[in-house]
């Protein structure tokens, strides 16, 4: 197990820094807050922390609009705070992954200020300027082209107009961005999660996208067209391979890509001969219907499609997706946890999922997310999954002493770390157990995935390596009797069967799952 690179064994934990822990009472989480909670993460048993952007930013998209790639936004702290955090993360044997946002800068970045200052500025070509817009849409609603009065041209923005897209066909852009990677790698960060990796380069002829025949009124306006010419372009792979070469100038680092694509296209992001991303994020569990046949299908498809030698990974939540408890129902969250930890490869968890946090309803006057503000009421908002981490029963859940930037969930007096740490049958105890099991049973990390089966909406599959482990997951609300192989229960959703030996017919309670170590 030790011979596997650290990131292959890792459970990665995403910290959305605004919402994790506030240390100065301004209602927004910060680096010193994260530092204060490192021991909690060690107890939970995760291996690496990925922090969403902490760089100077006007915060139009809460940090995904960066105005200086090599600094720290004062809202989150100072570079000295960052250096302390990195050292303390490493001292505890954890790793630190940063967010790298290469597709776009803030419109306040000095590169863009120069670029928009005149048509003959040396940075003009660092962004995408055109005399006429085409039909490409912004992911946050409306046209992706913004007219600039002063210079009489339009610039392209995949997201907000405050997030102009960089021109990755310009080698100077690529070099400047690679130097950003080197800046953080030299500091000792352990890798990057690359924002919208599949969008970085666009069609060089800016051809119009074809209409989407599946578009339904009421869906986001960006769905009107198929994103044939502004996403997943063939040239992207050369850029990813270059990024990977930069990361590999340093030893023991990881390159992870945010890629929302169907499985066959996703696999191409491992790159030719695995020279691309080490881990193109696999979001398919977040998108597939929560039923045993659908999950069996996705798990099988992904496993079969993995290129030779490519390392699998599974993600259960992130800052752009509804909380798993709200998507599949709170009663199924433990089944989801068991499923995730029974799957092979690297796992990624979103803060608060280990507590069973749910989406928090956000009243119209509380909305922060620009995606919701631009296209209200059609489910685009991401505030519900970004609400503060709940640490204890105090009125502000231990998150802040000020006014939290987003409201706390109504259930925070029972869904919180302090309460759940005391309860051996809590979902937090289950996650803690599962993290520990990955260390004591390496078959869970690297064993072959086999025998995926569905019967009566019970999903089962095996992992075989030094041991044989079987996952049996009742994905229904009913009690179901199933035959079990002879074995010992390693982990159980309900927290009351560990250590039992099983064999023959067994009754699974509603939403009950077991991990069995076979005899």
Q: Which residues of the chain form contacts with ligand NOJ (CB under 6 A)?
A: 61, 64, 101, 159, 195-196, 258, 319-320
Give the nearest distance from C-beta 18 to ligand NOJ in angstroms: 12
Tell me the C-alpha distance between 386 and 360, whole Å. 8
What is the residue-wise DSSP string for 213-243?
TT--TTS-GGGGB--TTTSS-TTHHHHHHHH
Give the nearest distance from C-beta 50 to ligand NOJ in angstroms: 11
Give the nearest distance from C-beta 180 to ligand NOJ in angstroms: 15
Residue 450 exposure: Cα atoms within 13 Å on the Cβ side: 12
Query: Tokens standing for 152?
Result: 């009489």
47 close to 12: Cβ distance less than 8 angstroms: yes
Minimal CB distance residue for ligand NOJ: 64
Query: Tokens standing for 440?
Result: 């004591």
To the query of whether residue 375 is one of the catalytic residues in this protein, the response is no
To the query of whether residue 258 is one of the catalytic residues in this protein, the response is yes
Which of residues 145 and 159 has its CB atom nearest to ligand NOJ in the complex? 159
Tell me the C-alpha distance between 462 and 515, whole Å. 10
Give the nearest distance from C-beta 101 to ligand NOJ in angstroms: 6
Catalytic option among 65, 73, 146, 195: 195
Give the nearest distance from C-beta 197 to ligand NOJ in angstroms: 10
17 close to 54: Cβ distance less than 8 angstroms: yes
Cβ atoms < 10 Å from Cβ of 464: 15
Catalytic option among 22, 146, 258, 353: 258
What is the residue-wise DSSP string for 276-325?
S-SEE---HHHHS-SSHHHHHHHHHHHHHHSPTTPPPEEE---TTS--HH
Give the nearest distance from C-beta 275 to ligand NOJ in angstroms: 24
Of 50, 64, 39, 48, the residue nearest 14 (C-alpha): 50
- Going by C-beta distance under 8 Å and a sequence separation of 6 or more, which residues neighbour residue 424? 495
Sign, Cα dihedral of 146, 150, 151, 152:
positive
Q: Where are the alpha helices (DSSP H) in 94-235?
A: 110-115, 171-187
Q: Which residues are catalytic, by number?
A: 195, 258
């Amino acid at each position: 197990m030790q011979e596997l690179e650290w990131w292959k064994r890792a459970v990665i934990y995403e910290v959305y820094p605004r919402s994790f822990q506030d240390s100065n009472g301004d209602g927004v989480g910060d680096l010193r807050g994260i530092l204060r909670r490192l021991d909690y993460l060690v107890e939970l048993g995760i291996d690496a922390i990925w922090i969403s952007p902490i760089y100077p930013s006007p915060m139009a998209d809460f940090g995904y609009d960066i105005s200086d790639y090599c600094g720290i936004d004062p809202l989150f702290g100072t570079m000295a705070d960052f250096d302390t955090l990195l050292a303390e993360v490493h001292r505890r044997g954890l790793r630190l992954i940063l967010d790298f946002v290469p597709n776009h800068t803030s419109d306040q970045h000095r590169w863009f200020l120069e670029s928009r200052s005149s048509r003959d500025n040396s940075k003009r070509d660092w962004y995408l300027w055109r005399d006429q817009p085409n039909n490409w849409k912004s992911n946050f609603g409306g046209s992706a082209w913004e007219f600039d009065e002063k210079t009489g041209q339009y610039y392209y923005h995949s997201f907000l107009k405050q997030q102009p897209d960089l021109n990755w066909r310009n080698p100077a852009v690529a070099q400047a961005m690679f130097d950003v990677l080197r800046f953080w790698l030299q500091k000792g960060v352990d890798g990057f999660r690359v924002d919208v990796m599949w969008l970085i380069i666009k069609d060089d002829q800016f051809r119009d996208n074809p209409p989407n025949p599946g578009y339904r009124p009421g869906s986001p306006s960006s769905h009107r067209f198929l994103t044939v010419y502004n996403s997943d372009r063939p040239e992207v792979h050369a850029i990813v391979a270059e990024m990977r070469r930069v990361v590999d100038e340093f030893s023991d680092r990881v390159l992870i890509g945010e890629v929302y694509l169907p499985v066959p296209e996703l696999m191409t992001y491992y790159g030719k001969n695995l020279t691309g991303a080490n881990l193109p994020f696999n979001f398919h569990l977040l998108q597939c219907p929560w039923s045993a046949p659908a999950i069996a299908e996705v798990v099988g498809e992904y496993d079969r499609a993995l290129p030779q030698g490519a390392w699998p990974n599974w993600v259960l939540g992130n800052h752009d997706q509804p909380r798993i408890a709200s998507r599949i129902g709170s009663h199924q969250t433990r089944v989801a946890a068991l499923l995730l930890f029974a799957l092979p490869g690297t796992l990624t968890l979103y803060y608060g999922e280990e507590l069973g946090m749910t989406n928090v309803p956000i009243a119209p006057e509380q909305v922060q997310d620009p995606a919701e503000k631009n296209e209200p009421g059609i489910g685009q908002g991401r505030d519900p999954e970004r609400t503060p981490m709940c640490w204890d029963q105090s009125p502000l859940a231990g998150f802040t002493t000020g006014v939290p930037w987003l409201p706390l969930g109504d259930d925070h007096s029972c869904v919180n770390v302090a309460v759940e740490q005391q309860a051996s049958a809590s979902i937090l105890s289950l996650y803690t157990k599962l993290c520990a099991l990955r260390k004591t049973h390496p078959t869970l990390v690297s064993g072959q995935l086999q025998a995926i089966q569905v019967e009566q909406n019970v999903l089962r599959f095996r992992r075989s390596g030094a041991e044989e482990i079987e996952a049996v997951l009742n994905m229904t609300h009913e009690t179901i009797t199933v035959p079990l192989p002879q074995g010992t229960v390693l982990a159980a959703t309900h927290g009351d069967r560990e250590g039992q030996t099983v064999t023959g017919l067994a009754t699974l309670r509603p939403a009950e799952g077991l991990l069995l170590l076979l005899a």
